[in-house]
A = this chain, B = another copy of it.
Amino acid sequence: MSPTKVLTEVIREWSEVFMQRSMRDFKRFMNETGLSFSQINILMRLVHKGSTGVSEIGEQLGVTNAAASQAVDRLVGLELIERTEDPDDRRAKRLALTQKGRTLIEQGIEARSKWIESLMDVLTSEQQNMIITALTLLSETAHKTNKLST
């Protein structure tokens, strides 16, 4: 087997395992919070980007502005995000997480993290160190390449 084949195979395997697990946890998170996939998507976006406008939300989700506006409205109602006027362009709105929203979404990320941590428990500290190095490298690379693409 060629080295490239090994690489893609390993990644595919890991993606499948990770997705399988994530789906289950994510569904559970949706049920617990009562939030929809799109709503969580919006909150995640805001964690990552700080603040954005309604159109950008719609664009990322691949839905119309109307849909985005409605989704935002529900989240504002739940006090998970704040919607204020953009002082520079008063047509636009600035959307940002409330503390409540931030806490909630970070709990979701924590839950995901905990699973990987639990995997670590059965490994030796050398193995753990290697994985730490690997994941750090992947995160850093992701950040660099994200800057280019987004």
Within A88-140, the residues touching B (CB, 8 Å) are 109-110, 112-113, 116-120, 122-123, 125, 127-128, 130-139
User: What are the residues of chain B within 8 A of A84 when measuring CB–CB?
Assistant: none
User: What are the residues of chain B within 8 A of A122 when measuring CB–CB?
Assistant: 141, 144-145
Copies of this chain assembled into the complex: 2
User: What are the residues of chain B within 8 A of A14 when measuring CB–CB?
Assistant: 116, 135-136, 138-139
* Interface check A20, CB cutoff 8 A: yes
Query: Could you mark each residue 11-50 of chain A with 1 if its beta carbon is under 8 Å from any beta carbon of chain B, else 0?
Result: 1111111111111100110110000011011001101100
Q: Known contacts A21-B142, A44-B20, A109-B16; is A62 also within 8 Å of B27 by CB?
A: yes
User: What are the residues of chain B within 8 A of A70 when measuring CB–CB?
Assistant: none
* Interface check A61, CB cutoff 8 A: yes
27 A-B pairs with C-beta separation under 8 A? A7-B117, A8-B113, A11-B116, A11-B117, A14-B136, A14-B139, A15-B116, A16-B48, A16-B109, A18-B142, A19-B22, A19-B109, A20-B44, A20-B47, A23-B41, A27-B37, A27-B60, A27-B61, A37-B37, A116-B138, A118-B145, A119-B138, A119-B141, A123-B137, A130-B134, A130-B137, A131-B134
